[in-house]
């Protein structure tokens, strides 16, 4: 078993989705610096290739770039390519995400489909392609959700709905794998310093991507279910759920 359940990591063959920027790139960096073997993926070919080249140059990891667009790809073909590069699978990290400040109220259909494809349908298609590997290899699934999925609001409505759907699907996968030693963990991310919230006036301080990545790697193989990151966002999530509707409907955030 390449990943010890106390969080100590041995040799890991990992796929990292959304690795060309933000949290995904930080996660790839943490894993590569520890000498692990990675397939990294995003739709931005230029940034992805640059990330792989940089990590191969300055770390002991072995990093291969395989670009896909989650809105339009063949999950079976991608899985075959990734497994061929790695020789197996120990961990699947899905950090891809897309949101926009235009996601408020009625949005153009092409924008809606892009948000749903990037955050939900494309993601679950990809995870589905790896389900056999997760089961047979006792591998681990780590996905990133969002505190936006805690309670619906008028802004980020499609994004929040997509992440809520992803939470439901990940719990279903966790149930499916409950008779194995595989683990499934979904992190409900609070504010992280990424392109998703660049230039926005945030209510709380944002976490550095590298700090979040280290927490996710530390928890690999032992954290299951839904975990807030940072942890104190759990209190924010609880507060949001407890706000009565007559008051909640007046909030603009």
C-alpha 123/C-alpha 97 separation (Å) is: 9
pLDDT in tens, 171-224: 999 999 999 999 999 999 887 776 555 455 555 567 889 999 999 999 998 878
pLDDT of residue 9: 53
The answer to whether residue 1 sits within a structural domain is no
Which one-letter DSSP state was computed for residue 205? P
C-alpha 17/C-alpha 245 separation (Å) is: 37
**pLDDT higher than threshold 70 for residue 125:** yes
Q: What total number of domains does the chain contain?
A: 1
The answer to whether residue 253 sits within a structural domain is no
Long-range contacts from 105-114, C-beta under 8 angstroms, 24+ separation: 105/154, 105/157, 107/158, 111/158, 112/158, 113/71, 114/71
pLDDT of residue 196: 57
3-state secondary structure of 73: coil
pLDDT of residue 8: 46
pLDDT in tens, 67-94: 999 999 999 999 999 999 999 999 999 9
* CB-CB contact of 36 with 90 (8 Å): no
Full residue range of the structural domain in which residue 217 is found: 13-248
- What's the pTM? 0.88
Alpha carbon 77 to chain centroid, angstroms:
21
The answer to whether residue 96 sits within a structural domain is yes
The answer to whether residue 92 sits within a structural domain is yes
pLDDT of residue 195: 58
Give the domain CATH number at 218: 3.40.50.720
Q: Residue 213: exposed, middle, or buried by beta-carbon count in 10 A (0-12, 13-18, 19+)? A: buried
The residue among 65 and 238 whose pLDDT is bigger is 65
Which one-letter DSSP state was computed for residue 199? T
| Overall average pLDDT of the 242-247 stretch | 82
């Amino acid at each position: 078993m390449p990943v010890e359940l106390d969080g100590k990591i041995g040799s890991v063959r990992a796929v990292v989705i959304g690795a060309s920027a933000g949290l995904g790139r930080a996660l790839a960096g943490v894993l590569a610096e520890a000498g692990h073997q990675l397939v990294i993926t995003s739709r931005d070919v230029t940034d992805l290739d640059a990330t792989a080249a940089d990590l191969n140059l300055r770390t002991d990891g072995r990093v291969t770039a395989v670009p896909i667009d989650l809105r339009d790809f063949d999950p079976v073909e991608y899985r075959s390519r990734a497994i061929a590069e790695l020789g197996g699978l120990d961990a699947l990290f899905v950090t891809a995400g897309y949101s926009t400040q235009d996601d408020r109220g009625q949005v153009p259909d092409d924008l809606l489909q892009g948000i749903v494809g990037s955050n939900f349908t494309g993601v679950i298609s990809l995870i589905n392609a790896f389900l056999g590997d997760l089961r047979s290899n006792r591998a681990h699934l780590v996905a990133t959700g969002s505190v936006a999925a805690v309670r619906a609001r008028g802004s980020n409505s499609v994004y929040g709905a997509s992440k809520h759907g992803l939470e439901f699907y990940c719990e279903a996968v966790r149930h499916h794998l409950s008779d194995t030693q595989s683990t499934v963990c979904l992190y409900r991310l609070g504010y992280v310093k990424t392109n998703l919230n660049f230039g926005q006036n945030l209510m709380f301080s944002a976490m550095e991507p590298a700090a979040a990545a280290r927490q996710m790697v530390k928890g690999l193989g032992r954290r299951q279910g839904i975990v807030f990151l940072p942890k104190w966002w759990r209190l924010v999530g609880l507060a949001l759920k407890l706000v009565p509707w007559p008051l909640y409907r007046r909030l603009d955030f």
